[in-house]
Amino acid sequence: SATTVSKRGILIVIEGLDRSGKSSQCQRLFDRFQSQGRKVRYVKFPDRSTSTGHMINSYLTGQAQQDDHSIHLIFSANRWEAIKSISLDLLSGIDVIVDRYSFSGAVYSAAKQNPDLSLEWAWSPEIGLLKPDLLFFFDISSADAAKRGGYGAERYEKEEMQSRVRTLFKELFARLDGVAVHQVDASRTMEEVAADVLSIVQGTTEDETLMSSALHKL
Ligand code: 2DT
Ligand code: MG
């Protein structure tokens, strides 16, 4: 036809526990898209480079203490302050690959077992953020993840916490209707996981929409 509507980029989110291989796979997908000549951007949350990111980094490394609710909202603000730029990039045809997003935001805070901080409460500041076109959950047991060189020294990097996080990810995904999750067995080799991710990504690009939509309430 004579008119060409420039295609919106796709928003791909990879979620999972620490050591599940998210960052390696995001980087692989990014390199792959680039080599195919696609315009692509890689975003990681928390983005520790901004002023909210500095607060988050101090908290995670134990240099600062924060109230559970307060730090939760700072993690969310760290996404809200980036969303306009992500949205503009998507509209201009850039694919955006996101390493952790709202789902990590809700489950890590809920996993603290603070009786005043429920999963519903933790999800609410995410309402209205862009909904991923493609969402992956890299599933691995906390024991298998721990075998991969052990956890580091940051807050949350303990097997018991990771195990609660994994349960809560599954609960959250089960309760969020309208958000399709591709669960990937992340205990396999990098190559096996990459092949799975790629086949799902390739199956999706074809029926991508021109409409973006937002995350809604639990
Ligand atoms: P990385 O190890 O990926 O840098 O994450 N987290 C992350 C939250 O508690 N809330 C959030 O909104 C996000 C995005 C997960 C550092 C830790 O921060 C947790 C692990
Ligand atoms: Mg980490």
Q: How confident is the model at residue 146 (pLDDT cuts 50, 70, 90)?
A: confident
Domain boundaries along the sequence of the chain: 11-205
| Architecture label for domain 11-205 | 3-Layer(aba) Sandwich (3.40)
Output the CA 46–ligand 1 centroid distance in Å.
6
pLDDT in tens, 65-75: 999 999 999 99
Question: Is residue 211 scored above 90 in pLDDT?
Answer: no
pLDDT value, residue 152:
85
Q: What average pLDDT score do residues 80-105 get?
A: 97
Q: First CA to last CA across the chain, in angstroms?
A: 42
User: Which residues' Cβ are closer than 6 Å to ligand 1?
Assistant: 18, 45-46, 60, 75, 100, 104-105, 108-109, 156
Question: Is residue 1 scored above 50 in pLDDT?
Answer: no
Q: In whole angstroms, what is the distance from residue 193 CA to residue 177 CA? A: 25
Question: Is residue 161 scored above 60 in pLDDT?
Answer: yes
pLDDT value, residue 6:
64
Q: How confident is the model at residue 212 (pLDDT cuts 50, 70, 90)?
A: low
| C-alpha separations of 183 from 40, 54, 78, 135, 210 in Å | 23, 32, 26, 9, 25
Q: In whole angstroms, what is the distance from residue 122 CA to residue 118 CA? A: 6
Ligand 2 is an ion; its neighbours by CB within 5 Å are 18
